[in-house]
Amino acid sequence: MILFVSLLRPGQEYLSGPPHKTKCRFEELTGLPVLLQHFTQVTPEFVNRLPIKAIILSGSPAPWPELKPKELLGLYDVLRETEIPTLGLCAGHQLLDFVFSLDFRQTETLEDQHIRSLGPLEPDLAVGDEPSGWFREKGYYHVEITTADPLFATFDGHCMVRESHMCEVKELPPGFMHLARSEGCEIQAMRHRERRMYGTQFHPEGWNDEYPDGRQILTNFFHIADLI
Amino acid sequence: MILLVSQHRMGDVYANSNGHHEIKVRLEKIARTPVLVQHYSEVSPALVTSLPVDAIFIAGTAVPFTEVEPEHMQGLYELVRTTDVPIIGVCGGHQLLGVLFSHNPLDLHNPVVDLIRPLGEGEYDSMAEKCPGYLKELGMWPVEITVSDPLFEGLGKMPRFFEWHSREIKQLPEGFVRLARNVNCDIQAMKHRDKCIYGVQFHPENWTEPYPAGKRLLENFFRIAGLIE
């Protein structure tokens, strides 16, 4: 079984649509059941009780100050210690940065780490409730693979993947190494040096027929996790 | 862990649904255990033995069984016929139990489940877009408990539950006893004689504050299943 942790706001729960659709995509790729859980439900005891073979952290549209470290403590304790193969997607990638850079028991709030402010001639890609005035990557972007890794096996130096973010990881957290970059964002992918733990700023789960690379990257992760 | 079996139409309809999110959250709160949602085509005895499944909840459906490929139902069929894990089927899940325990379980054209009845002269049609001309039960209807059972503990003789169906089980499957009926539908609840398998025609998961009976019924079920004290 794969544990898919939703990082959407408490009260907002998992929203309709995307997390379930993504769950179905993981199930299609692995043939394994995927248990969707809200981050407030996840603790080391919870994870130890179930036969969990991989952990995937979802993205989230919420600004980081809305997710409180004390609500994330259970998940924090899991991620700090776990040997289970783990993949953080977008906000999940940024969460790995926070988890390995900060002591959540001593931290009041998590701050948005914006990529940068918009230049005067740049379009604002924010829609709906999204905060305006920030540079965003949105759509399918060229990502350059800077370090050979099984996550990018079968790729020749670059891939085209779905992006949707205005925040980023500014500095590699302790214990992690850099794997990929894009023109707009330096840390597009990272991995833990000793564990099978990855973060991608992009959304491999957002592949489509025209841009299928994300599907292959997920397949590679599931290979790394010995699930397929 | 609870296994929640979805009967959404296979493929994009299921993938684009919200994965029974509201039901999942309600069951997780009541039973204090995670709910794994799986499509009926993904379910089998092997899946249930590989995971610590304590109870199985078969959700309703708007898809007539005649549109289901029998081979996609094979795993669920084998599961419900062989497992000792407590099962509750609601609405379309209850009707599915009616089919899977009938004499022709994988003939999904099986007349065991059919439309309730044609509307009478001048009778109100609660939803004309769906099965026009036929009676639909929609709303919080009173249901008469005909056989006392732990499932209905604390609910009195005539609780109200949310109903939303156009079909019903016409004939009690072999090995089952009828537990409840109402003015529109004769088999509102049933139970297997020897195993912990319940079917309810209504939607207990759609309880509301004014009509909380469905919540109590689910708590009773999870108590019977040993999930809560």
pLDDT in tens, B79-95: 999 999 999 999 999 99
Which residue among B15, B47, B52 sits closest to A21, beta carbon to beta carbon? B15
Which residues of A are tagged catalytic? Answer: 90, 203, 205
Size of interface A-B (CB pairs under 8 A): 49
Has residue B216 got a pLDDT over 50? yes
Q: CA-to-CA distance for B195 and B176, rounded, in angstroms? A: 10
Supply the angle between the helices B70-82 and B92-100 in degrees, to the nearest 10. 80
**In degrees to the nearest 10, what's the CA dihedral of B87, B91, B96, B98?**
90
Give per-residue pLDDT as tens, A26-61: 999 999 999 999 999 999 999 999 999 999 999 998
Q: Which residues contact A121 (CB under 8 A, 6 or more apart)?
A: none
A10-24, A35-49, B8-22, B59-73: least confidently modelled range: A10-24
- CA distance readout (Å), A162 to A27, A191, A197, A203, B190: 20, 19, 20, 5, 50
CB atoms within 10 A of CB B218: 23
Determine which of A8, A25, A32, A35 to mutate to test the interface with B (most B C-beta atoms within 10 Å): A35
Q: CA-to-CA distance for B11 and A24, rounded, in angstroms? A: 9
What percent of chain B is predicted at pLDDT more than 70?
100
pTM for the whole structure? 0.92
Q: CA-to-CA distance for B149 and B159, rounded, in angstroms? A: 14
Give per-residue pLDDT as tens, B4-41: 999 999 988 898 888 999 999 999 999 999 999 999 99
Q: Which residues contact B66 (CB under 8 A, 6 or more apart)?
A: B108, B109
Q: CA-to-CA distance for A81 and A77, rounded, in angstroms? A: 6
Angle at B110 between CA B105 and CA B113, to 5 degrees: 105
Which residue among A1, A13, A49 sits closest to B21, beta carbon to beta carbon? A13
> How far does chain B reach from its first CA to its final CA, in angstroms?
16
Tell me the helices (H) and strands (E) count for chain B, helix number first.
6, 12
pLDDT of residue A13: 52
Q: CA-to-CA distance for A119 and A135, rounded, in angstroms? A: 8
- Give backbone dihedrals phi and psi of B192, rounded to 5 degrees, phi first: -70, 140
- All residues of chain B having their beta carbon less than 8 Å from the beta carbon of residue A23 are 19, 37
Give per-residue pLDDT as tens, B114-149: 999 999 988 888 888 888 999 999 999 999 999 999
CB contact under 8 A, A50 and B34: yes
